[in-house]
Chain A
C-alpha cells in the first residue's frame, strides 16, 4: 500500500512531522489571537470564550482533530527520536557541532516533551476547569500563583526554542528553500516564535506580577 510505504519512509515521516507541525502552528495562531483579547478587558475575553463555546459541535470537532494532530506529532516525533538515538548514540569520542546556534535543533525532542507536560497541566487547568466558574476568573486565579505562572513562562520559552527550529524546518521539509526567500524565512523563524512568546508569556506575566489584579 502506497500510504504505508509513504509513512514508513524517512522522508514520509519527516513530512508527517512537518504537516502536523504546520497544523499545530495554525492552531497556535488562532489560540494566540484568542489570548490577545485578554489584554483588552475581561469582558471582551469572556465574550470571546462564550461565543466559542456556543458552538459545541465545532469545538468538539476541532478538539478531536487537534488531539489527533498532537498525537501524530508526538508519536512520530518520539519514534524518530528513538530511531535517531539508535544511530547516533555517542558515535564519536570528540563530538563537535559545526553549525552555530544548533541548540534549538539539538533539543527538539526535549522542548517537545516539556511542551507535552505543559499541555497536560494546561488542559487540566483550563479545559476541564469547573464549568460554573467563568473562564476569565479561572485565568486570573491560576496565573496569579507565582510558580504556576513561572511554569507557564518556561513552557512558552520552550515553545519559542521549539519553533525557532521547527518553523524553518517545516518549510525546508515542504521543499521551501530558495536563496531569494531564505533571509525572510530566517527572520520569520525568530519573529513568529517571539511574537507567540510575547503574547502567551505576557498573559502569565500580567497576572503573575499582579498587573492584572483588578481583572
Chain B
C-alpha cells in the first residue's frame, strides 16, 4: 500500500492556493458527462452533493434515513469554529491552525489542518448567505462564544442547535439541486459494497431497506461521507443508524484505514442508568464553565449530595489542575472521571457518575443568571433523569462521541483506492488524536463545500475512464457477494429462536468488550485479552444470531445485524491499532506511557505517524503501514494543564 499524502510543497500559507492552481480542471461544458456518487447526507455529504451539482456534474446521492435532513450532523449542539476574528481578540488563521494541530496532540498533517483553518471563514459566509439563523449581537453582527477551553471567541452558533441549522442549510442547497434534477436522491438505501473496476472505484452496491432489493449504481467517482463508527461501543452519543459498514467495505476493497483507535470520549454525558439503555445523551460542554466537578472523598459514600459537607468533597479537577480547573480538555476531564469511578468514588445507583454542581455558581451569579445560561440544558437533563440541576447537582459520565480515525486520505481526500474519496468524520481527518469542540462541523463543511470539488476535477481531469455498465462482472459479483452474506446471516433463523441470540445482545457484548479494553485508558494486557475474546463473539454471531423475517421486506433486525457483523470485524483493527500505539496521545491514555504525575505521555520519537491498516484478506492479520508526520511550522510540545 503506497501512502503518498500529495501534500503540496511551498510555504504553509501558499500550499492550498498552489495546489488549486496545479490541480487539473474539468471544462464546465464537460462536467455533465461525469457522474458522481455521494454516500451520506450529513454536513459533508449534503454540501458536497450540492456543490458538485451546482458545478454541473451528474450526482447520485444516497442516504440511509427517510430524508437527507436526518443525518446525525443534525445533533451537534455547540457551534462551528472559524478564524474570522470578529471579536478582535487576537484570532487568526494561523492561530486556529495551531490550536487545532496542538489540540490534536500533533498527530495530524500540517498542510491539511492549515487548509481547514483557511477555508473556515468561507464556511461562515456561505452559511449566512443560505439563511442559517446564527446568533446575533444587538447591533446585528454575528455573535461568537468561546468554546471547549479556547482562548479566543471564535465559535459561531445558533442556540444549542448549530448542527441542525447548518445541516438544514446544506439540505436546502441539496434540495435545490434535487429539484433542478442535477442530483438524483436515493433515500432509505444502505451501502453494502464499493465496486472496484480495474483498480478504480466505479460504483456501489446498495440495499433498498424498504424492499430488500440489492441495487447497483455506476459512476465515475465515489465519495463516502458516511460518518464515524462510535457505535462499535453499542452505547455512544451517535445516532442508532451510524455505522462503519460503508467505510469498512471500502477498507476490505483496498482502502487503508487510519488510526482506528482514535476515539473521542466526551466528558459531560448523562450517565448510563440501565441495561435497556439504547444510547447516551450529550450535555453541552459549556456546562463546565460554571459547574464544579466533584465526588465524595471516601469510597462508597452513599449520602445524598446535599448531605455531604464541603470537607468531604473532592473537587478533583480543581485540585489536580489548578490553572484550568474544571475547564481542562475533554480527554483529561473524561479520563479523570473514569479514574475516580474506578477508585470506587463514583456516585449514583451504578457508581458510574460524578457530580457537576451549580450550587456555587447559583450563589455567585443568582438563580436567574444561571438559568438563563443553561435553562434549556437543565430542562433536557430533567426530562431524561427527572432531577432538577438547580436543586441537585447533575450527574455526568463520559461517553463515546466522535471518532478521529477513519479512511486514510491524501491531501485531495482520496483514499488508497483511486476514485474513492472520503469526507467528513468518515475520513481520518484533520483532528489528529483529539478533536477540539466545534471543529467537527467546520471540517465536514470544509470538505464538502470547498475542498472536494477541486479534488474531483483533478481526478477526472487526469484519468481516462471507460464507460461501464451496471451489468459488468464486477457489479454482478459484488451483488452476489452481498446476497450471499445476507443469506448466510439469515440461515440460523430457520428453526426458530430457541437457544439463539438477538443482534442487540451480541452488539452489547461487543460494546462492553471495547469499552472495557479499548476505551479511554488502555493497556497491553487488556488489549491482548480483547483480541482473544473478539473472535469468539464474532463466531457466536455467525453461529447463532436469530433474525426474524426475510430479506425481501422492511427488516430492521437484518439491517442492524449487517452493521454489527461489520463492527465485529472492524473491532479487531481498532484493538490492533491501540495495541501498536504504545504511547498516550490525544484522547486516549496508554497506561504504560505516563509521566511521573500520571499524565499522558506522548512519544514523538516512535509514534509521530499515522498508522494505516491494510486488509490482507479474511482470516489474515491486517498489515500496518505508517505515514510519517513531519512538522515544519509547529514544534510538537507536551500539553500541560496544571
- Contact, chains A and B (beta carbon distance below 8 A): no
The interface of chain B, by Cβ under 8 A from chain A, is none
Interface residues of A (CB under 8 A from B): none
